[in-house]
Amino acid sequence: MKMALPIVFAFIGLASIAWQVSLDRDLVLSERASVTISSTKPTKSPVSTDYSVTLSGLFGDAKKQPTALPTSLPQTRLKLSIRGLFANADGSGQALIAANNKPAKLYQVGAQLPGDAVLESVGAEHVVLRRAGRFEQLRLLPLPASRVTNKRTAAAQQAKARTTAQQSTDRTQSLTERLKRLRAQN
């Protein structure tokens, strides 16, 4: 019984591969036939080779091109701040944006923002807004220097504490060994 199960799975796998090969072979033969038929007389092949109808919309609409945004945009004057970005290479994505120092909300491209602005695109370090027919940018603010310094200081203090703890452990072990030797001598 233990040997039969792998043999059955192997047989099913081989049958699946054979079936796929036969489908591919039939497809190639029908395409060749349609090429030879179309070269002799203009008749339509019984097998449709127009894959654009079948696959339309699978990877988006090829006719729909993204609108080109200007390369240098003015900084927006809205009281908005970016808390996080989830950017895709094509400009789509999401942004965590806070308005007027309130908790941040998640907005997708095309969403209406406070201040009558629309989120147009999301980049790695900024978002592009459309307000009153004009494009503006909202940049992701860098981490304040004081917070960077505090993080570095905290990391240095942790490393120093680890070193001090290791030295203390080493001293304790050294003293324990000395006491054992002294007791063994007596």
Neighbours of 119 (CB within 10 A): 21
Give the model confidence (pLDDT) of 5-42 as tens digits: 788 888 888 888 887 877 777 666 665 554 444 444 54
150's tokens:
């505090």
Burial of 96 by CB count in 10 Å (0-12 exposed, 13-18 middle, 19+ buried)?
A: middle
User: Quick check: helix, strand or coil at residue 97?
Assistant: strand
Q: Does domain 80-139 have CATH number 2.30.30.830?
A: yes
Give the model confidence (pLDDT) of 55-74 as tens digits: 555 555 555 444 555 567 89
Confidence of residue 100 (pLDDT cuts 50, 70, 90): confident
The reported pLDDT for the residue numbered 60 is 55
Sheet strand arrangement including 93-99: 80-87, 93-99, 105-108
Are the beta carbons of 113 and 80 closer than 8 angstroms? yes
pTM of the model: 0.42
The reported pLDDT for the residue numbered 39 is 46
